[in-house]
Amino acid sequence: MEGKKKKSIFKRWWFWVIVIIIIIAATSGNDNEPKQATTKQEDQAVVGENKEEEKEEVVEEEPIYNIGDSFKTGDLGVTILEVEEKKEFKSDNEFIENVTTDGKFIAVTATLTNNDTKPRTFSSMQFNIIDNQGRKFDTYTDAKLMMILGDKDIFLEECNPGMSRTGIFVFEVPEDVNEYSLKVYSGVGFEAKTSATVKLK
């Protein structure tokens, strides 16, 4: 009696079950690798964004200068020479009245230097007084005061590169302004790209 022929391994059901399981396992493993790679890339991107935010949050503090210090802001060189408080500017001209105030005047004498490569116009509008209450004061541009100050007034003063001008600009403030600083801008309007602070009192 002839023995039963053995079935080919390819015809056995359990063989195909094993093959299917191996294929599923292999496919699942490959699918996980790109996900893991993508996750790592996303984590690196988040870390990069956080570092950029930290860089943006770091803001350099503006230096604070004192009377007599020489410094630069942009292409403007500045030395604040003197600060004087007064109630009145007296006129030497009989046709020009004295200039008085209900508050007080702060007269700032400064030397300005043009460090640019082209001529520029200095203006008293490049300066503000800021007190310890955060109040901001513009320069006093009264016509009579300009005539009293004469050539000393820095309102619209032309200056060539490498040259300097010394003059006075005046602020009218309330009597209660007792602690204040001078804000100096490198230019007027859109040209005021940088600034500096001088502690006056």
Q: How many residues does the chain have?
A: 201
> Which CATH fold would you assign to the domain 64-199?
Immunoglobulin-like (2.60.40)
CB 111 within 8 Å of CB 122: no
- The CA distance from 68 to 79, in Å, is 6
- Local confidence pLDDT in tens for the 201 residues of the chain: 455 555 555 556 666 667 677 777 666 655 555 555 555 555 565 555 555 555 555 556 778 999 999 999 999 999 999 999 999 999 999 899 999 999 999 999 999 999 999 999 888 889 999 999 999 999 998 999 999 999 898 888 899 999 999 999 999 999 999 999 999 998 887 777 899 999 999
Parse the chain into domains and list their residue ranges.
9-57, 64-199
Q: Which amino acid is at 144?
A: K
- pTM > 0.75: no
